[in-house]
Chain A
Amino acid sequence: MISSQLKLLKGSMAADDDTPDDVLVTRAQRGDRVALGLLVRRHQRPLFALCLRYVGDLDEAADLVQRSFERAMAKIGDLRDAAVFRSWLLRIGAHLSLNHLRDHARFVSDEGEDERPTDLERPLTPPALERLESAEASAALRDAVQTLPTKQRMTLELRIYEDLSFREIAAALEISEGAAKVNFHYAVRKLRATLGPEPDGASRRGRGR
């Protein structure tokens, strides 16, 4: 009896998992807790990943996920097209993360800076040199991404990490599709300069995401 009820519940949950976002959003607005829970479970992971990329701390990213959903539900009436809920939610998360970074900027310290000279004083073996160069390149790329203008960074990340089309990005950021493409182009141009020339023989095929 219980197992059959569980199967039924799982079956309904599975069916709900295929339910489009706009339907779940409408149901959640009517107070359907199950629909709201599905929305959270469906989108919390990409949202968490986005917040983590900005703040770099698991706990802070989790807090930002919660705050993003809170904000989204409080402002759900402002969402013109429920079909773009995901990108809209990600945009909220990005904004909250940027605000969080700005608010906590004063707590950034220079800890660790003093240790670097002593590390660098030691002679580097070739593998260590490669690792250092790789680490420096990574840091430079991270810095380059972080210093991109907000719209360019959001466009780049929504395109690269979330695999959104330019139309979806445009809807999420409330800009034109052309502007989304130009933002992506500018972001790629800047990061390309940071990365340096492409190594010989590297593949030049594939899409930009």
Chain B
Amino acid sequence: MSFPHDDGSELCGRVFDRLVEGADVGADPVLSEHLGSCVTCFRSMTELRDAPRVAEAVRAEAPSLPRANDPFWETLAVRTTAAAEAALRGGTAVPAEAPASRSVKPAASRALVARGVARVRIVSVAATLAAAAAAFMLSARRPLPPPPGELPSNSSAHVERPQRSIETALRTGADEVLDTEADVADLDAGALRRLLERMRPNAPVALTSSAGGTGDAADLLGEDEGRMNDELADLDGAELRRVAGSLEAGAR
């Protein structure tokens, strides 16, 4: 917004600044001369000349306050200080890990925390589903198709090594790492996602649909699914094989 003059000249602006501040425009001969020749500035001067009168009238309308030594002020100060202190403590001063602060944290902080939790859940779910899908693939003993975008090949070398390693891991227990290159427990989120993508075409629909890897998918996971994931993660090789068998039967 600029000053409300038609031509917007620098002189008009300087005159307006002086008028609105209540300063004497006549003290500056240049501005005074301009004021005598500019209708807009003259009108502004006429209006703003009444500012003291307007201010006086407005002040006269102000409601009366309690006296300065009235106990009202001390009472107000005490209760206001207590409320402000509570707001300050709740809004900024509480450590992030304190449970009591969660409900009063800024929305942005809550969103960040929620996103972090969602990421952790994505990785956890992806790892569990990858393990289950790998077990399923192992028991199905079907050759894996090439990744999308790659020409079909008779050689399955790119999947044989992980398949062997997973088989070994299942045989010896999930916690025992014999081949670190292919142990799903050691894969990061990206590698797990790639592995899952490769296995997706042969995995049951119910498994692959909930592991899309997006934040929205993670947000849809309920408490039951979380418990299921935890239980799957605790299974040993033989149990995983049984689960894979039942998944295979379900897929048929």
Contacts and interface: CB of A to CB of B under 8 A. Distances in A.
Interface of A: 28-31, 33, 36-37, 39-41, 44-45, 48-49, 52-53, 56, 58, 62, 65-67, 69-77, 138, 141-142, 145, 156-157, 159-161, 166, 175-176, 178-179, 181-182, 184-186, 188-189, 191-192, 195, 198, 202-209
A160 B22 contact: no
A36 B91 contact: no
A58 B4 CA distance: 39
If over half of B's interface residues share one DSSP class (helix, strand or loop), that class is named, otherwise mixed; here it is helix
Given A40-B77, A66-B79, A198 B61 contact: no
A145 B62 CA distance: 11
A188 B51 contact: yes
B97 interface: no
| Among A65, A67, A73, A161: residue with most chain B CB under 10 A | A73
A47 to B, nearest CB: 9
Contacts of A71: 87
A188 B89 contact: no
Contacts of B61: 138, 141-142, 145
Interface in B57-93: 57-63, 65-66, 68, 72-73, 76-77, 79-81, 83-93
Nearest to A77: B92
A202 B83 CA distance: 48
Given A185-B48, A192-B47, A178 B3 contact: yes
B92 A185 contact: no
B52 A205 contact: yes
B136 to A, nearest CB: 51
B88 A188 contact: no
Contacts, number: 163
Interface string B13-28: 0001100111000000
Given A62-B76, A176-B1, A188-B47, A70 B83 contact: yes
Contacts of A40: 77, 80-81, 84
B103 interface: no
Given A188-B50, A207-B51, A72 B62 contact: no
Going nearest first, the 3 A-B pairs with the smallest beta carbon separation are: A208-B51, A207-B22, A206-B52
Contacts of B65: 45, 48-49, 52
A65 B73 CA distance: 11
Nearest to A159: B55
Contacts of A56: 63
Contact of A45 (B17, B62, B73, B87): B73
B27 to A, nearest CB: 14
B134 to A, nearest CB: 48
A70 B52 contact: no
Contacts of A36: 81, 84-85, 88
B53 interface: yes
Contacts of A206: 22, 52
Given A66-B79, A188-B48, A52 B55 contact: no
24 contacts: A33-B81, A36-B85, A62-B76, A69-B81, A70-B83, A73-B85, A73-B88, A73-B91, A74-B90, A77-B91, A77-B92, A145-B61, A178-B1, A178-B2, A178-B3, A181-B16, A184-B20, A186-B4, A188-B48, A189-B47, A198-B50, A198-B53, A204-B52, A208-B52
Contacts of B38: none
A148 B251 CA distance: 71
Contacts of A182: 1-4
B57 A65 contact: no
Contacts of A66: 76, 79-80, 83-84
B88 A74 contact: yes
A185 B13 CA distance: 13
A58 B106 CA distance: 32
Contact of B47 (A31, A181, A185): A185
A209 B80 CA distance: 30
